[in-house]
Amino acid sequence: MGSLIGRSRRFDVIVVGLGAMGSCALEVLARRGKRVIGVDRFEPPHSFGSSHGGSRVIRLSYFEHSGYVPLLRRAYEGFDRLSREAGEVLRHEIGLVAGGVRGNIVSSGMLRSAREHDLDVEAIDGRELMRRFPQFTVPSNWEIVVERRGGFVRPEATIRAALGAAKRQGASMELNAPVAQWGSDSRGVWVETASARFEAESLILAGGAWMPGLLGSGAPKLHATRETIVWLDDAGDPAWQSTAMPVWLFDRGEEPAIYGIPAFSGMGTPRGLKVGLHGRGPTVQPEQAQDPPVPAIVAETVAATAERIVGAERRAVCGAKHCLYTMSPDTDFVLGMHPTQPRVAIAGGFSGHGFKFAPVVGEALADLALHGKTGLPIEFLSARRFG
């Protein structure tokens, strides 16, 4: 350790993890003129964690908890600012339809959030959904909510934009450098990799699926699950393009919800209709994200899609990948100060629905690292709720 201490570098803030949340935190801190370094075990954007796959759903009428809506409004602004600075569209507002059987938690929760926050949504039934969008096949009495401001964001492009902006503002980065250990002392905090030591006034931990090993004692118990994403060949079908099909999410009761994002120009490969079963995957160690997709889960995903998308059973699978969810005990985020480390801000447990918040989480983390508090409404996400 002595040799590392001798070569240590001093910063205002260290950010560990440069995926969705860490990259945006790094950008905000650099924009505020702080001397900041980001440390990542890989070279982001990459496909080893939770921030890849070409697209992520974004929506305002949040059925999970209406407290997320003010954060989402701020996140929309953040994506648009990053888009302007990068000269690249990151947020695509193509609309979203979601729901299920009468009384389903998705549509009822969306309508509740819409009432509380005066959001522009429309309640229709399954018959009307199929009239507007013949791509879908659902029972005619299903309860569906249409949100015009829903759509998708592009994860890899967002991370590139945030890291590019951070670098232009003077941020440093240490890549391909897993954290060996971190701690605090009388001078602040420190982080060590295999070859370097960094010291700072404060630390942000945003390590995704590696958070369980980073957080240490006294923190909420998080675990990673491995989820399977499947792409079905669009075969050039205009009905499967983002110009004709909205993003969609259908509740399946006790079974995992099925969601889909249509093909869009510039999506890269694999290309096609992207579909997944939300929360279907097993608990794993992060390194297991690189295991080959399980054929049975791919088949299950295709079958669930074919129940709701006309002609899906005839389309070939043109790609399948894994991504990681990092689950909190209650599936809400863990965002705030570390329960036992007053100089450490944490962001984790995004439970498969966090990417859409990346810009506002970056702002909150920057506030926490610099001031120990934030004016953003994140108190309901504090680690203190677990005792």
Q: 314-364: per-residue pLDDT in tens?
A: 999 999 999 999 999 999 999 999 999 999 999 999 999 999 999 999 999
Question: Is residue 4 pLDDT above 80, yes or no?
Answer: no
Q: At what angle do helices 20-31 and 358-371 cross, to 10 degrees?
A: 60
According to DSSP, the β-strands at 334-337 and 344-348 are antiparallel
Maximum separation of any 2 CA atoms in the chain, in Å: 70
Which pLDDT value is given to residue 268?
A: 79
Instruction: Return the closest-CA partner of residue 367 out of 18, 60, 28.
Output: 28
Q: Which residues pair with 10 in a beta bridge?
A: 199
The pLDDT mean for the chain works out to 96
According to DSSP, the β-strands at 197-205 and 9-16 are parallel
Burial 190-200 (b: 16+ CB within 10 A, else e): bbbbeebbbbb
Which pLDDT value is given to residue 2?
A: 47
Question: Is residue 5 pLDDT above 70, yes or no?
Answer: no
d(CA 60, CA 114): 8
The pTM score is: 0.97
Euclidean distance between the first and the last CA atom of the chain, given in angstroms as a whole number: 35
d(CA 107, CA 98): 6
CA distances in angstroms from 8 to 174, 189, 205, 218, 278, listed in the order given: 13, 12, 19, 28, 43
CA distances in angstroms from 49 to 185, 253, 286, listed in the order given: 31, 28, 7
Helices (H) and strands (E) in the chain, counts: 9, 20
Question: Is residue 192 pLDDT above 70, yes or no?
Answer: yes
Instruction: Return the closest-CA partner of residue 75 out of 333, 328, 322.
Output: 333
Specify the range with the lowest mean pLDDT, choosing from 2-11, 38-47, 81-90, 144-153: 2-11
DSSP class of residue 240? G
Q: Are 332 and 349 in contact (CB under 8 A)?
A: yes
d(CA 51, CA 361): 14
Which pLDDT value is given to residue 186?
A: 79
Question: Is residue 255 pLDDT above 50, yes or no?
Answer: yes
d(CA 224, CA 289): 10
Using left for φ > 0, alpha for ψ between -120 and 50, and beta otherwise, residue 122 falls in beta
Question: Is residue 382 pLDDT above 50, yes or no?
Answer: yes
Q: Are 140 and 118 in contact (CB under 8 A)?
A: no
Q: H or E element: which one contains 361?
A: helix 358-371
Q: Where are the beta strands (DSSP E) in 51-187?
A: 56-58, 91-92, 96-100, 121-125, 143-147, 151-153, 172-174, 181-185
Radius of gyration of the chain (CA): 21
- Residue by residue, DSSP assigns 67-117 as GGHHHHHHHHHHHHHHHHHHTS--EE---EEEEESTT-HHHHHHHHHHHHH
Which pLDDT value is given to residue 360?
A: 99
Summarised one tens digit per residue, pLDDT across range 76-118 is 999 999 999 999 999 999 999 999 999 999 999 999 999 999 9
Arithmetic mean of pLDDT, 230-234:
97
Burial class, 201, CB count within 10 angstroms (exposed 0-12 / middle 13-18 / buried 19+): middle
Arithmetic mean of pLDDT, 62-84:
98
Which domains, from first to last, does the chain contain?
Answer: 2-50+156-219+330-386 (3.50.50.60), 91-152+223-327 (3.30.9.10)
User: What percentage of residues in the chain have a pLDDT greater than 90?
Assistant: 94
Q: Are 272 and 232 in contact (CB under 8 A)?
A: yes
Task: Quickly state the pLDDT bin for 244 (edges 50, 70, 90).
Answer: very high
Which pLDDT value is given to residue 218?
A: 84
According to DSSP, the β-strands at 197-205 and 344-348 are parallel
Instruction: Return the closest-CA partner of residue 276 out of 242, 310, 252, 241.
Output: 252
Which pLDDT value is given to residue 1?
A: 44
d(CA 179, CA 195): 10
Residue whose token pair is 């509380």: 116
Summarised one tens digit per residue, pLDDT across range 141-182 is 999 999 999 999 999 999 999 999 999 999 999 999 999 999
Kindly state the tokens that stand for 137. Answer: 């096949």
